[in-house]
Amino acid sequence: MPEPYDPLQPGEKEVIAPTGQGGPMDLALEEAQSLEKTLEPAGPGPQEKARSLWSDAWHQLRRNPVFVISLLLILFLVVISIWPQLIASGDPLQCDLSKSQQGSEPGHPFGFDTQGCDVYTRTVYGAQASITVGICATVGAALLGSLLGGLAGFFGGWWDAVLSRVADIFFGIPVILGGLVLLSVVTSTTVWPVVGFIVLLGWPQIARIARGSVITAKQNDYVQAARALGAGNGRMLLRHVAPNAIAPVIVVATIALGTYISLEATLSFLGVGLRPPTVSWGIDISNAASQIRNAPHMLLWPAGALSITVLAFIMLGDAVRDALDPKLR
Amino acid sequence: MGRYVIRRLLQMIPVFIGSTFLIFLMVYALGDPVAALFGDKAPDPATAARIRKDLYLDQPLWKQYLHYMGQIFQGDFGTAFNGQPVTELMASAFPVTLRLTIVAILIEIVVGITLGVVSGLRRGQLVDTSLLVLTLVVISVPVFVTGYVLQFLLGVKWGWVRPTVSSDAPFNELILPGVVLALVSLAYVTRLSRTSIAENVKADYVRTAVAKGLPRRRVITRHLLRNSLIPVVTFIGTDIGALMGGAIITERIFNIHGVGYQLYQGILRNNAPTVVGFVTILVIVFLLANLLVDLLYAVLDPRIRYA
């Protein structure tokens, strides 16, 4: 996470930025502004501090509507996945067969599914499984991937060669196939087998990114200087290389979070991901798919919720990448 | 060039062995193919032991793997549990999936690159912004949702296309499934070629080409596009392998009896020879597609030479 922006007052100036700056892609303007800012310290400003990559990125992100919207959306999703009772009063497992596939009625805005369960309640409760799987799998894959990839990039040699070949092997296995084979023998109804599987197939991608950015970072002059001053491997890695190599990993991990949620739903849809009684959008979509001709609402609500969740994480990652990588602007 | 290809082919061997062994391990170590043969009933121990011996399953796993690979390189992929040779299943499934993949890749190339060029040349304008947002939306909606919704709307409600594909699977019935299969990759191709074009449009050689009075069309196709295609080609190459194996969902929705369908059935019924055989072929396709991409680089960019 970027550290909070240090309010050294230049923020005051941006408030009067032209109101036409609506779109996230208003790049020329942003470029001009950031250029203006880099020129600014020449003046007699009150001890203007040089901005780090992070505070610069945070500064840009704050004014990016895509970032703000997706962040708010994600906060909302996290809150309702912890306390679904806040907006849904019913019980997702309590169903009334006599209402099978009926449309909306007062108190049940999204209608009922084949079992007569309230689609609204199930859609709200479905967030929990998706968000849990997404966050746990991303944290796991990011930790494992950046640790293995970072060490491979830093030390090089045979460890690097072995790790790169192992990553190649994992890339060679089609994800959905691997999921079908590995998870079809699992009988657990918790989220952990799915999380474990996603970590298993997700870490090579992150390791590749981490390896590349560590190799770039370790060639910098200040790292050579630290070595010349007698810093040990541990200190160099933690104090000099890691902080300068972590940005691409964070970006890829954020985007991956969205795709992991989508992958979980796909596996659940195929019947090998999460299993009932866990409430999951993938399972509900799978059950609704065969009934799409009679009751499309059963499919559209959970599918919409799933798509918006994935979209929020992908947009967040996209905005963060634009902010962290000045070359893309 | 020849030496480069040989070196690359040699480098593929460990990856090939690793991937296939991993799948082999998953299928044979996690499930019990003999028990699966009997369905829900408990097999008679003597019969089970005999089948195990016939199928070489009483040996240690690495020996089984070597035996299996030895058979494969003699063209014997074993027999599926219904008695059909796996090669026969492959002969019926692979042409169908290949046709589907061709349709999908063509859509990706034609539509994706066109949209990418259009938005890359108009960077920051309304067309570009809306295309970018649209691609993000397309990436976010899972394939099975787009598949069912499009099938319902175009196939059932408005009746423009046949909702399911017949067993011959001719090209004209594969257009809608091809679109569904290509959609997510299409969005990536659009974004990739947009970034690449927007970067290269400022390059000196483009300015030179414009300055010496070449028509705009020629500048774009000859100078700009050719130099911007490398990342796109990389993506499409890796996507060929992914599409052939990832068609499981699309084939299921549209009832296409291709590779994905056979694999899904094979995995559900724990039909080990089918699964391992098909995956082995898919891994080879994936590796060869990657090699092809690297060789294409030299065609696109003459500065890249393989010694």
> Which of the two residues, A33 and A242, has the higher pLDDT score?
A242
Question: Residue A229 — φ and ψ, nearest 5°?
Answer: -80, -5
Instruction: Judge whether A88 and A124 are in contact, CB under 8 Å.
Output: yes
Q: How much is the pLDDT for A326?
A: 59
Among residues B31, B46, B73, which one ends one of the domains?
B73
Pair B132, B186 in one domain: yes
The whole-number average pLDDT for the span B33-42 is 69
Helices B2-25 and B61-73, axial angle in degrees (round to 10): 130
Tally of domains in chain B: 2
User: Has residue A178 got a pLDDT over 70?
Assistant: yes
Q: Tell me, what DSSP letter sits at residue B152?
A: I
Torsion-angle region of B75 (φ positive above 0: left; ψ -120 to 50: alpha; else: beta)? left
Residue B81 falls within a domain, yes or no? Answer: no
- Contacts (Cβ under 8 Å, ≥6 apart) of A88: A120, A121, A124, A125
Which token pair is B168? 């011959």
Residue B82 falls within a domain, yes or no? Answer: no
Pair B180, B133 in one domain: yes
Pair B107, B7 in one domain: no
Residue contact B136–A182, C-beta within 8 A: no
Residue B80 falls within a domain, yes or no? Answer: no
* Residues of chain A above pLDDT 90, percent: 7
What's the rounded Cα separation, in Å, for the pair B224 and B14? 38
Q: The domain that contains B233 carries what CATH number? A: 1.10.3720.10
Residue B305 falls within a domain, yes or no? Answer: no
What's the rounded Cα separation, in Å, for the pair A144 and A211? 12
- The domain limits of chain A are 54-85+112-328
Q: How much is the pLDDT for A136?
A: 93
Q: How far, CA to CA in Å, does A106 sit from each of A103, A275, A297, A305, B37? A: 10, 30, 16, 21, 52
User: Has residue A230 got a pLDDT over 70?
Assistant: yes
Pair B48, B7 in one domain: yes
The CATH-assigned architecture of domain A54-85+112-328 is Orthogonal Bundle (1.10)
Residue contact A172–B18, C-beta within 8 A: yes
Residue contact B30–A181, C-beta within 8 A: yes
The whole-number average pLDDT for the span B272-291 is 83
Cα A123–chain centre separation: 20
Torsion-angle region of A136 (φ positive above 0: left; ψ -120 to 50: alpha; else: beta)? alpha
Shortest Cα distance, chain B CAs vs residue A160, angstroms: 15
Pair B64, B148 in one domain: no
Pair B27, B94 in one domain: no
Q: How much is the pLDDT for A50?
A: 63
B83: number of Cβ within 10 Å: 6
Cβ-based contacts of B140 with chain A (< 8 Å): 258, 262, 307-308, 310-311, 314
Question: Residue B85 — φ and ψ, nearest 5°?
Answer: -65, 140
Nearest CA in chain A to B288: A172
A108: number of Cβ within 10 Å: 17
Residue B247 falls within a domain, yes or no? Answer: yes
Considering only CB atoms, B282 lies closest to which of A165, A174, A180, namely A174
Among residues B22, B42, B73, which one ends one of the domains?
B73
Pair B206, B125 in one domain: yes
Q: How many CB pairs under 8 A join A and B?
A: 126
The B residues from 197 to 236 touching A (CB cutoff 8 Å) are none
Residue B306 falls within a domain, yes or no? Answer: no
Pair B39, B105 in one domain: no
Query: DSSP E strands: which ranges in A45-182?
Result: none
Pair B28, B55 in one domain: yes
Residue contact B142–A173, C-beta within 8 A: no
CB of A320 within 8 Å of a chain B CB? The answer is no
Q: How much is the pLDDT for B33?
A: 67
Confidence of residue A141 (pLDDT cuts 50, 70, 90): very high
Residue contact B249–A176, C-beta within 8 A: yes
Pick the range with the lowest mean pLDDT from A193-207, B67-81, B99-113.
B67-81
Cβ-based contacts of A168 with chain B (< 8 Å): 15, 18
CA distance between the termini of chain B: 6
Pair B119, B239 in one domain: yes
Question: Residue A117 — φ and ψ, nearest 5°?
Answer: -85, 150
Domain carrying residue B31: 2-73
Instruction: Judge whether B287 and B123 are in contact, CB under 8 Å.
Output: no
Confidence of residue A48 (pLDDT cuts 50, 70, 90): low
User: Has residue A169 got a pLDDT over 50?
Assistant: yes
Residue contact A172–B31, C-beta within 8 A: no
A109: number of Cβ within 10 Å: 11
CB of A23 within 8 Å of a chain B CB? The answer is yes
Pair B151, B256 in one domain: yes
The whole-number average pLDDT for the span A148-160 is 85
Residue contact B286–A172, C-beta within 8 A: yes
Nearest CA in chain A to B19: A169
pLDDT, chain B, mean:
82
Cβ-based contacts of B268 with chain A (< 8 Å): 184
Confidence of residue A27 (pLDDT cuts 50, 70, 90): very low
The whole-number average pLDDT for the span B106-113 is 92
User: Has residue B1 got a pLDDT over 50?
Assistant: yes
